[in-house]
Amino acid sequence: MVKKDIDCKLREKIESGQPLSEGEYRELGEIVKDVLTFMAKEKIIPSPQNYERWFRIFCYARENNLSLSKSELVDIYLDLYQIKDDIDAESVNVVERIAEDLFNEIQQVLRSVSEHHRGISESGQKLEEMAVSLQTQDIQRVLSRIMNEVRGLKNVNRKFIQKLEEQRTEIERLKDELRRVKEEASIDPLTGLRNRRSFERALSEFFRDFKKFGYPFSVIMFDLDDFKEINDTYGHLAGDKVLKEIGNILRNYLRAKDVPARTGGEEFTIILPGITREEALMVAERLRKVIANYAVEYEGKKISPTASFGVAEVTPDTESPEELIRVADENLYRAKRQGKNAVVG
């Protein structure tokens, strides 16, 4: 984990007004190039604040000889500037609402223009019938000019309707893309459960409701025992399959309103709304038995994982969601020290 207050000696030197050596100028040029390339590639708005933040991170990475992936760079950014996914989720929600409003407006305009188009077509038909029935050449010439105008309006309307249809299709695509982005932002791709940040958002909401309305809830945290040995013995694909099966077990054995999440490599955490500590202990014990008796088949071999569980219930003395997780985590490690494949709460 990168420390929150990361250092950038080159940045500090520039800010203090100290002269730079030739080597430091070359280093500065490389960092600037890396930052601008990254921001352009990731479509980050090149505002002074954004540039300053990413320069600091890239400078830190270069000075410490760190080769960081995109996800690692983003994690440092989120951690350093305390930007949570709920901000991102809210941004997506705002864009989604705008897209929905725009889609509805286009639907209304499209209906209005289509009705107008039908009215013009009907009027044009009547004018053509009148032109045939009337004998006076002057009247026929006037009607012919009017009909030409009507035909022109029909062509304009037809093009307008086509353009509206194209925009409606594009906004539908945007809405689908936004739904996909929201899902990917909150779901662990391997297990299909919530990811850590989505779980933390949910936990904060439950904690807020407890403090405001007194709604009780408990938390179960569990960790697969000796998971490294599974990876070392059978391979990482086998380990991935075990994690997927744990996700399936949680979906099958928990209530619809419970909130299970994969919060670490082989670590899972569950929010149990309306459940006391004693009831949570029973839920954890049931899950422990299910996992211990479950055999994951992989390439003709059976893998039998076990898990250790820690349980905690929110109380009026609980000061924060982090404190509740800390208690559950401490109980989990007590279960590990007691020999694993156990429940402590």
End-to-end distance of the chain based on CA atoms, in angstroms? 28
Quote the pLDDT of residue 227. 94
Of 181-195, 217-231, 322-336, give the lowest mean pLDDT range: 181-195
Quote the pLDDT of residue 7. 79
Q: What percent of the chain has pLDDT over 70?
A: 68
Q: Tell me whether residue 2 is exposed, middle or buried, using C-beta atoms within 10 angstroms of its C-beta: 0 to 12, 13 to 18, 19 or more.
A: middle
pLDDT in tens, 170-209: 667 666 665 665 555 678 888 999 998 889 989 999 999 9
The residues annotated as belonging to the active site are 266
- In terms of C-beta distances under 8 Å and separation of at least 24 residues, what long-range contacts does 338-344 make, across chains too? 340/225, 340/226, 340/306, 340/308, 341/225, 341/288, 341/292, 341/306, 341/307, 341/308, 342/288, 342/308, 342/309, 343/281, 343/284, 343/285, 343/288, 343/308, 343/309, 343/311, 344/308, 344/309, 344/310, 344/311
Strand ranges inside the chain, DSSP E: 217-224, 259-262, 267-273, 296-298, 301-303, 307-313, 343-344
The encoded tokens of residue 220 equal 């179960």
Q: Tell me whether residue 105 is exposed, middle or buried, using C-beta atoms within 10 angstroms of its C-beta: 0 to 12, 13 to 18, 19 or more.
A: exposed
CA distance 135 to 83: 78
Quote the pLDDT of residue 41. 78
pLDDT at 217 over 70: yes
Mean pLDDT of the chain: 80
Architecture of domain 196-344: 2-Layer Sandwich (3.30)
Of 9-18, 177-186, 198-207, 327-336, give the lowest mean pLDDT range: 177-186
Q: Residue 15 is which amino acid?
A: E
